[in-house]
Structure 1
């Protein structure tokens, strides 16, 4: 072999590692090489982990009074409370229902501010009982929103549902809910805009099934704005 041929051979051999490296970079290198010699059990575990990794967090906690609870007449509760309706409307959601008949933001705030939340979204539905009892609503609502957001939770604030007749403070508290949502970057579920029919009420304050469904549908649409990946197909 003459010197010229030997030189060309050394050059070709010297470029071989570079060619292999570039080919690996520009080609579609296997993404699961580490599992190539894995046992079937390990492979199945990996598949489960991958599924969990890409599954969206569709968890929500409901905080509110009897409107969100579906309660009425002190001890009665609708067979289809909003928490159950929401699960039907948006099957991907894991719903934690902490609503309590008669609850008020004014009364709930001290306990709420000591809580740690485990769900992605926190829904706050208050204002009717605060209005009926003449309690300050805005300060308590703002404190609750700030506490949830400080833990990285998305907050949905509902407006106030409609009532038969006149409830002093209802409209003012509805405006407060809208303003607090805007000021804090929370999502507003405009319950005041939902079609209201006095015939769709259990009493002067509590929705019967048709109105409860419409209110929950409005809440579901607000959740869709927060987490569109959690909306059921077709919504």
Structure 2
């Protein structure tokens, strides 16, 4: 190496050392975050949301799930509110409508985009009372829930004072559809029934509504145990 070459190497050496040091410090992977406080806050919220389980449930049903009774009256704590109290982690979407039936609801229901993880279907009493063809309509609703990638939860039918023509038949249909489609079944017919706990001949009062909703919550726990309240 001549004197000129040796001098050039000596002058370049500090820069070569610095470049090598920087290369050695460069991370192999970089987690990119914008540095503004607003973006940092949004990033943190998104991280928290990604860690939370999907605890969403949509209620579809008639006046019994709505908590209606004696005409235009409604329980002070309807089933949707009871459910929120029993399972506070859930976001509860209440789509129940007094007087509704599977037969009347099915055409519109099949056009909906369903977003809740669990879709509760509580129909059959009004279908029985009006002699509607319950099974094909209810099967179509369950099929739509499954086609949307959601979990159908069928309640079965609650009890009424003095019985009702078609009630037991529709309850058996609901149970059979749940078994055949792999849907979750909340056996409302098995819940303790006392006529003294009824608000009128067909609609539950507070105590019966509480027991029915508790049965529903237990069925939801089979779908999403991570959404049950601590200690349940």
> Normalization by structure 2: what TM-score?
0.84
Larger Rg computed on CA atoms: 2
Match of 1:112 in 2: 109
Is residue 66 from structure 1 mapped to residue 63 from structure 2 by the alignment?
A: yes
Match of 1:126 in 2: 123
Match of 2:223 in 1: 226
CA distance in 2, matches of 1:40, 1:97: 39
Is residue 189 from structure 1 mapped to residue 186 from structure 2 by the alignment?
A: yes
Pairing 1:144-183 to 2, within 5 Å after superposition: 144-183=141-180
Aligned-residue offset at 1:31: 11
Aligned-residue offset at 1:54: 1.1
Match of 1:103 in 2: 100
Match of 2:46 in 1: 49
For these two proteins, the number of residue pairs brought into alignment is 205
CA distance in 1, matches of 2:86, 2:72: 26
Extract unaligned runs of 5+ from structure 1: 1-29
What's the CA shift string for 1:147-183, capped at 9, x where partnerless? 1110101110011001110201111111111100011
CA distance in 1, matches of 2:48, 2:67: 35
Is residue 93 from structure 1 mapped to residue 74 from structure 2 by the alignment?
A: no
Is residue 216 from structure 1 mapped to residue 209 from structure 2 by the alignment?
A: no
CA distance in 2, matches of 1:103, 1:97: 13
The root-mean-square deviation of aligned C-alpha atoms, in Å, is 1.8
Is residue 203 from structure 1 mapped to residue 177 from structure 2 by the alignment?
A: no
CA distance in 1, matches of 2:200, 2:222: 32
The alignment partner of 1:34 has SS state of: coil
What's the CA shift string for 1:37-65, capped at 9, x where partnerless? 97483554443222110111111110000
Contact 1:74-1:101 within 8 A present in 2 as well: no
Extract unaligned runs of 5+ from structure 2: 1-26
Contact 1:71-1:77 within 8 A present in 2 as well: yes
Is residue 34 from structure 1 mapped to residue 34 from structure 2 by the alignment?
A: no
Aligned-residue offset at 1:123: 0.4
CA distance in 2, matches of 1:229, 1:31: 36
